[in-house]
C-alpha cells in the first residue's frame, strides 16, 4: 500500500555498486545482501501491509564493523535503517530504496552473566527469552516478556520500549535496562550506564530506550535480572460483560493490589486462544481476566482471596485458581498465543497498541463496540489490562478491496479515543509509520519541534531511520542546531524548556 515516505535520493541509488563494494570490504562479501530475492526477506516487519526493498542489507558481526559502516554512511550521506528480528508491528524498520538496512541478527551472544550484580550483558540480536533461559537454572529471569519473546530481539525491545504481561509490577524495558553501548552516526562508540546506576545529569538511557533507531545503533545491552518469586499463582475470572471486567481491573489496583500480571481477553479472543492452545478457558463468558499474584506463599494466598472477593462483588460469573505450576502455565499459554490464535479466525488482523488510564477501560471498550458497528469489522480484544495497554485486533480480509483501508481508519479512531480519554498513542509497539501521522493528536508543534531538536543533537543529517515517527521532519537549521560530542552528558546549547 502506498505511504508517504521521503523521496529516494537518486544519487545514492546511482552509487549502489560502489556502496556494495565498500560494504563488502568492511564486513566480508557473505554479509552483504544485494539480490532482490535476498532483500525480499527484509521488505517489512510484522506489519506486512507496508513493504519496500532496501538498497542493500548489511549484516555486521562486531561493534567495530558497525562503527565503520556508520562512519562511511555519515561521510557519504547514505541512510541507515537499523533492524532487529523484524517482529515489530508499526513499520519502524520499513526499508528505504536509498538506505542500507543494518540487520543486527548476528549480534546474538550473551557476553556476561553477573549474579552478584544481578545483570546480564547481551548483544542486541539475542532473543528476549534467551536471557531468561541463560539464568533460569539459578532461579533468575528477565521480567519484560512480550508475547513474541521467543523471537523478538532485546535490541528491538530497546527500540520500542517493549513490555509484556508482567510489566504491570516489574516495569517495561526502560525500567530493566541498566546500560547500553551505542554507535553514533559518525561512528563514535559510547557507553551509557552499565552495572551501576546511570549518571544523575541526563537520563540518556531513558532517551535511547524507545527511540526506534532514530538516535544511534545499539551494539550491547546490560539488563537487570530478578530472582524468581517463591510462589506464583494465577486466577481466571469470567464476566458477563467487558465493562464489568474493566471495572474489576480498576478496583483491584484501587485496593492497593499490584498483581504480577493482569490480562484481559474478550469472547472472540477467548475462543480463538482456547481452540488454538486447549487451555481450558471458560467459553460462556464475555470477558476473561487472568490475574497472577506472586511473592511469599502466605501473601499470595491472602491476595488471591482479596482479588476473588473484589471480582465477585463486581459480578464475576466464575473464578478458577491455578493449583500447580503446570496449570498456571496453561492459563498463560492461551494469552501468550492470542495473536497467532486470532490469525486462525480471520484472513488478516490489524493489531493496535494504545494506552489509557485504567479507570477509562470500560468507556473505551464501549466505544470500540460502537466503532465495530460503524466500520463493519470485528474486533478481538487482548489487553495488558493492569497498566491500561490495549491491543484490539481488527479483523479484515486484505483480499477484499478497501478492507485494509477501512481497518486503518478504524484503528486510527481507536487511538484517537485513547488520547481523548487521557492516554497515549503507544504502550510498547512504538510509532513507526503506522502512527506517525497521528502524532499531532497527542503533541502540538512545539512538542514535536522539541523532540526533533533532540534528534538533531544525535543525527543532524537525518540519516538514521528517516521517515519514521514524525509526520514532518524539519531541517536542524530550522530548529536550532545542537550536537552530541564524544558522548558527553551535558548539552549547554540545547534550548531550555
DSSP state of 127: B
Q: How far apart are CA 163 and CA 175, in angstroms?
A: 10
pLDDT tens, the chain, 497 aa long: 446 777 899 999 999 999 999 999 999 999 999 999 999 999 999 988 889 999 999 999 999 999 999 999 999 999 999 999 999 999 999 999 999 999 999 999 999 999 999 999 999 999 999 999 999 999 999 999 998 999 999 999 999 999 999 999 999 999 999 999 999 999 999 999 998 766 667 889 999 999 999 999 999 999 999 999 999 999 999 999 988 998 999 999 999 999 999 999 999 999 999 999 999 999 999 999 999 999 999 999 999 999 999 999 999 999 999 999 999 999 999 999 999 999 999 999 999 999 999 889 888 988 999 999 999 999 999 999 999 999 999 999 999 999 999 999 999 999 999 999 999 999 999 999 999 999 999 999 999 999 999 999 999 999 999 999 999 878 887 776 444 444 443 333 333 22
Looking at residue 486, what is its pLDDT? 43
Instruction: Determine the pLDDT at residue 492.
Output: 37
Q: Which residues pair with 33 in a beta bridge?
A: 57
pLDDT of residue 201: 73
Domains of the chain and any CATH numbers: 10-103 (3.30.43.10), 115-227 (3.30.465.10), 231-339 (3.30.70.2190), 346-438 (3.30.70.2740)
Strands 56-58, 99-103: pairing is: parallel
pLDDT at position 313: 97
Largest CA distance in the chain: 70
Three-state SS at 259: coil
The per-residue pLDDT for 185 is: 98
The strand pair at 99-103 and 79-83 is best described as parallel
Q: What is the 3-state secondary structure (H, E, C) of 443-456?
A: CCHHHHHHHHHHHH
Query: Would you state the pLDDT for residue 491?
Result: 34
pTM: 0.92
Tell me the CA end-to-end span of the chain in Å, nearest whole number: 39
pLDDT at residue 362 in the model: 83
Q: Shortest CA distance to 488 belongs to which of 465, 459, 462, 457?
A: 457
- pLDDT (0 to 100) of residue 480: 60
Q: How far apart are CA 354 and CA 365, in angstroms?
A: 12
* CA dist., res. 97 & res. 256, Å (int): 52
CA proximity to 23, closest of 46, 55, 50: 55
Amino acid at each position: 500500500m502506498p505511504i508517504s515516505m521521503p523521496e529516494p535520493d537518486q544519487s545514492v541509488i546511482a552509487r549502489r555498486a560502489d556502496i556494495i563494494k565498500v560494504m563488502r570490504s568492511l564486513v566480508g562479501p557473505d554479509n552483504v545482501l544485494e539480490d532482490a530475492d535476498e532483500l525480499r526477506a527484509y521488505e517489512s516487519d510484522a506489519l506486512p501491509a507496508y513493504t519496500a526493498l532496501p538498497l542493500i542489507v548489511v549484516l555486521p558481526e562486531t561493534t567495530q564493523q558497525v562503527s565503520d559502516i556508520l562512519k562511511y554512511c555519515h561521510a557519504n550521506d547514505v541512510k541507515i535503517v537499523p533492524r532487529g528480528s523484524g517482529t515489530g508491528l508499526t513499520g519502524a524498520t520499513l526499508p528505504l530504496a536509498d538506505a542500507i538496512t543494518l540487520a543486527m541478527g548476528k549480534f546474538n551472544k550473551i557476553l556476561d552473566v553477573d549474579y552478584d550484580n544481578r545483570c546480564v550483558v547481551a548483544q542486541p540480536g539475542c532473543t528476549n527469552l534467551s536471557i531468561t533461559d541463560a539464568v533460569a537454572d539459578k532461579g533468575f529471569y528477565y521480567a519484560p516478556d512480550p508475547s513474541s519473546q521467543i523471537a523478538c530481539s532485546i535490541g528491538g525491545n530497546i527500540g520500542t520500549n517493549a513490555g509484556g504481561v508482567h510489566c504491570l509490577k516489574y516495569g517495561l524495558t526502560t525500567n530493566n535496562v541498566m546500560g547500553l553501548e551505542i554507535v553514533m552516526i559518525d561512528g563514535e562508540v559510547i557507553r551509557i550506564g552499565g552495572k551501576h546506576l546511570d549518571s544523575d545529569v541526563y537520563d540518556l538511557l531513558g532517551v535511547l530506550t524507545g527511540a526506534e533507531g532514530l538516535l544511534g545503533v545499539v551494539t550491547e545491552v546490560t539488563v537487570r535480572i530478578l530472582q524468581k518469586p517463591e510462589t506464583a499463582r494465577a486466577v481466571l475470572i469470567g464476566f458477563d460483560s467487558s465493562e464489568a471486567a474493566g471495572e474489576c481491573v480498576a478496583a483491584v489496583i484501587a485496593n492497593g493490589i499490584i498483581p504480577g500480571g493482569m490480562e484481559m481477553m474478550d469472547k472472540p479472543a477467548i475462543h480463538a486462544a482456547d481452540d488454538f492452545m486447549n487451555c481450558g478457558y471458560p467459553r460462556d463468558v464475555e470477558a476473561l481476566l487472568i490475574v497472577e499474584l506472586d511473592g511469599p506463599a502466605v501473601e499470595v494466598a491472602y491476595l488471591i482471596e482479596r482479588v476473588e472477593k473484589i471480582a465477585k462483588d463486581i459480578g464475576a460469573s466464575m473464578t478458577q485458581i491455578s493449583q500447580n505450576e503446570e496449570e498456571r502455565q496453561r492459563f498463560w499459554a492461551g494469552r501468550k498465543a492470542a495473536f497467532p490464535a486470532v490469525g486462525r479466525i480471520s484472513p488478516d488482523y490489524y493489531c493496535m497498541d494504545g494506552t489509557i488510564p485504567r479507570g477509562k477501560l470500560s468507556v473505551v471498550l464501549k466505544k470500540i463496540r460502537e466503532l465495530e458497528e460503524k466500520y463493519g469489522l470485528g474486533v478481538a480484544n487482548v489487553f495488558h489490562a493492569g497498566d491500561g495497554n490495549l491491543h484490539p485486533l481488527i479483523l479484515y480480509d486484505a483480499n477484499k478491496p478497501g478492507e485494509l483501508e477501512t481497518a486503518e481508519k478504524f484503528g486510527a479512531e481507536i487511538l484517537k479515543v485513547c488520547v481523548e480519554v487521557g492516554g497515549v498513542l503507544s504502550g510498547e509497539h512504538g510509532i513507526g509509520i503506522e502512527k506517525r501521522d497521528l502524532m499531532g493528536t497527542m503533541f502540538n508543534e512545539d512538542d514535536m519541534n522539541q523532540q526533533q531538536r533532540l534528534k538533531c543533537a544525535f543525527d543532524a543529517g537525518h540519516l538514521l531511520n528517516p521517515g519514521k515517527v514524525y509526520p514532518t521532519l524539519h531541517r536542524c537549521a530550522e530548529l536550532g542546531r545542537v550536537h552530541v560530542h564524544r558522548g558527553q552528558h551535558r548539552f549547554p546549547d540545547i534550548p531550555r524548556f
